[in-house]
Amino acid sequence: ARTGTSVSHNPCCNMKLGSGAAKIREMLDHGVNVALGTDGGPSNNDYDLLREMKHAALLQTLRKLDPMAIRAEEVLEMATINGARALMIDNMVGSIEKGKRADIIVVDYWQPHLRPLNNPIAHLVFSATGLDVKHSIIDGKLVMYNREILTFNVDKVLEEADKAAYELYSRTGICKEPDIIWPVI
């Protein structure tokens, strides 16, 4: 905290790799800026920051054996303003304030797994996933409407990404065929 250092907490990656559970409660109590991340695909298999919030909260609950180890609001701050602070752009993004960029998601709470809606923040942290995001606005520009990306062709990007990945695997040998115990149909 004294040096202004930020920490990027990647709980799913830490759990998948067996890296242990970071002492997030203690860091927050000492004034450390803790941001939330997903790390990379090979160490997480997922880039869903909403899902990552749930894992961040549950991992601290398990580590401390205390259901109040971390509040949903603290986890949401880790995913938003604390991330902006870590990148030193909190004057531009990370919260909804006059003069900041309008980076906003609209979550569709009219879903069975998000009902009854008695605490929107807790439901966002513990129950929502990226699939619940209905609209997305980046710097005031609508980029996703009714779950449809408006700014690029998603299928084309996915196809190009797969092709590039397989070419890289083939060229470098870094990814071999996995040992799958069940047949893939």
DSSP 8-class letter at 95: S
For β-strands 133-138 and 141-145, DSSP reports them as antiparallel
Q: Is 102 helix (H, G, I), strand (E, B) or coil?
A: coil
Token code pair at residue 96: 């909804």
Please report, to the nearest 10 degrees, the dihedral formed by the alpha carbons of residues 46, 81, 29, 56 taken in order. Answer: -20
State how far the Cα of 111 lies from the Cα of 132, in Å rounded to an integer: 8
DSSP 8-class letter at 97: -
Give the per-residue pLDDT at 181: 80
Q: Taking a C-beta distance cutoff of 8 angstroms, is the pair 90, 76 a contact?
A: no
- Cβ neighbours around 140 below 10 Å, total: 9
Give the per-residue pLDDT at 173: 80
Give the per-residue pLDDT at 165: 86
Instruction: Choose among 129, 122, 169, 154: nearest CA to 46.
Output: 129
Residues facing residue 148 across a β-bridge = 145
Phi, psi of 145 (to 5 degrees): -130, 130
Give the per-residue pLDDT at 32: 97
Blockwise average pLDDT, block size 10, the chain, 185 residues: 91 92 96 94 84 97 96 98 98 96 96 94 97 97 98 97 89 76 79
Within 8 A by CB and 6+ apart from 166, the residues are: none
Fold of 101-174: Urease, subunit C; domain 1 (2.30.40)
Every domain of the chain and the residues it spans: 1-94, 101-174
